[in-house]
Amino acid sequence: MLSDLTFGQYYQAESFIHRLDPRFKILSLIAFVVMVFVANSFYGLLALALFLVVAIIFSKVPILQMLRSLRAVLFIIVFTVILNIFFHTSETETVLFWIITKESLIFSAFMAVRLITLVMASVLLTYTTTPVALTDGLESLMYPLKFIKFPVHEIALVMSIALRFIPILMNEADRIIMAQKARGADFDTGNIFKKAKAMIPVLIPLLISAFRRAEELGDAMDSRCYSSSKKRTKYRKLKFSYRDIIAGVISLLVFGAVVTLRVLGVGV
């Protein structure tokens, strides 16, 4: 049931995208999200979508596996499209049927593509970056905050543990659900309130399991004398390479084209 939740999962492969520096991938994702909202026409959004498709191809992550990530947010996408179809207004409206206009259909399609690109770009980051590399990259990017006594290392450690626990807890939830089904529990029929009530016998043992695993992890860290001292070193140090330069130049060209289309007002 929870196999569609892909955030925090890592897809093992040897690809150009996998070998990029995690700091570059994090900054690229932030810039990509900004550009998705900067793009105000299908031309700009199409350029970003093609850029994302090329990145997925170079990542060697199966397209079907990437598309599965949309199932978890399919309700949000459909709800957003329906909402915009019936309630979007514009200065010039061409009524097609009842209160549905041509402009509302176009805007709804635009919003759907925008949401899909945002979700798939975020999933691509977690698919191609290990939790350790991801948190190392975040810690490196947040390093200037240490000068204002911000607990950068502690925050990065919490994020690393959280990302590692996501697939573990999903597998644990699936195991509990299968056990409950074997005892006659029904999770598939009834209205939304009945389904939510049926999840209570799953949430309680899941929370107990999560606390137990957290306690075991804390004991393991204490037994290894873990300390968040300032003199901690890393086994692997992050370094930018020629791959990051190539990807950076391509990203700047695409993002520059999107900004240019916005400034010129093309396709608005």
Domain ranges of the chain: 1-129+238-268, 153-237
What is the structure's pLDDT at 94?
Answer: 65
Quickly state the pLDDT bin for 236 (edges 50, 70, 90): confident
- Phi, psi for 97 (deg, rounded to 5): -160, 125
The CA-to-CA distance between both ends of the chain, in Å, stands at 41
Per residue in 178-209, pLDDT (tens digit) is 888 887 777 777 777 777 777 788 888 888 88
Cα distance between residue 35 and residue 256, in whole Å: 9
Quickly state the pLDDT bin for 138 (edges 50, 70, 90): confident
Quickly state the pLDDT bin for 92 (edges 50, 70, 90): low
Which residues face 95 on adjacent strands?
A: 101
Quickly state the pLDDT bin for 36 (edges 50, 70, 90): very high
Mean pLDDT (whole number) for 94-102: 68
Instruction: Report whether 123 contacts 66 (CB < 8 A).
Output: yes
Helices (H), the chain: 22-38, 42-59, 63-68, 74-87, 102-128, 131-141, 152-182, 192-198, 200-223, 242-264
